[in-house]
Amino acid sequence: MFEIHDLQVNFGGIQALKGISLSVEDGQIVTLIGANGAGKTTTLRTASGLERPSGGTITLAGQDITRASARERVKQGLVQVPEGRRVFPKMSVLENLELGAFLRKDRAGITRDLRDVYERFPVLADRLKQQAGTLSGGEQQMLAMGRALMSRPKMLLLDEPSMGLAPLFVQEIFDIIKAINEAGTTVLLVEQNANMALQIADHAYVMETGRIVLSGTAAELSASDEIKRAYLGG
């Protein structure tokens, strides 16, 4: 479904990504874990077209999208839920959700997908006219995910979905990610809560200072003494 090969990104004289490669099979959840500053968010921003690579390739469903615009990538089914939610605070919940479908013209399909979002996130259905900025952090994360689903993604990029959330919301968000995946959406997940990420992922990559330093099945990495010491508190 998705592949990054030898991806390099420079910010001025600093090389943020130093030739990373990873792949995500259709239907998988793949997680990218690592410390702050490892390059995880830069990887997602480059994958979604918000940063330009200085080398390497990005393919989606076999098509090279390395030079495609962010808008074109959304049209092709690659959608990101950014770190920090980034909802539009002065707009209503419904307006935020409708913005997720801004490239679509099928009104009947949009209406059906809104109903699906309300079923998946009942709290949003109760607050359609409420300003998004007045929602709790967990509710804003649900809104950001619902907004992304309104574009009908084939591939969902999730950047730190549990950041700053109460433990109760963290479990709920991870349950929702798993349900979204089981409904047919492939997921690449960046997450500092490595323990939770490895519980739901099929495959995992570990990043350090702009490089992939370890990869394997989520079960293999969960059992690794090195990973336990570095990321799982073991």
Between CA 17 and CA 126 the distance in angstroms is 42
What pLDDT does 233 receive?
60
What's the domain count of the chain? 1
d(CA 125, CA 33): 33
Q: Which pLDDT tens digit goes with each residue over 69-125?
A: 999 999 999 999 988 778 999 999 999 999 998 888 888 989 999 999 999 899 999
Read off the tokens for 96.
Answer: 């935020």
CATH of the domain at 79: 3.40.50.300
Q: 89: which 2 tokens? A: 């605070």
Does residue 7 register a pLDDT over 70? yes
Alpha-carbon gap, residue 187 to 40, rounded angstroms: 15
What range does the domain containing 215 cover?
2-231
> In this predicted structure, what is the pLDDT of residue 229?
78
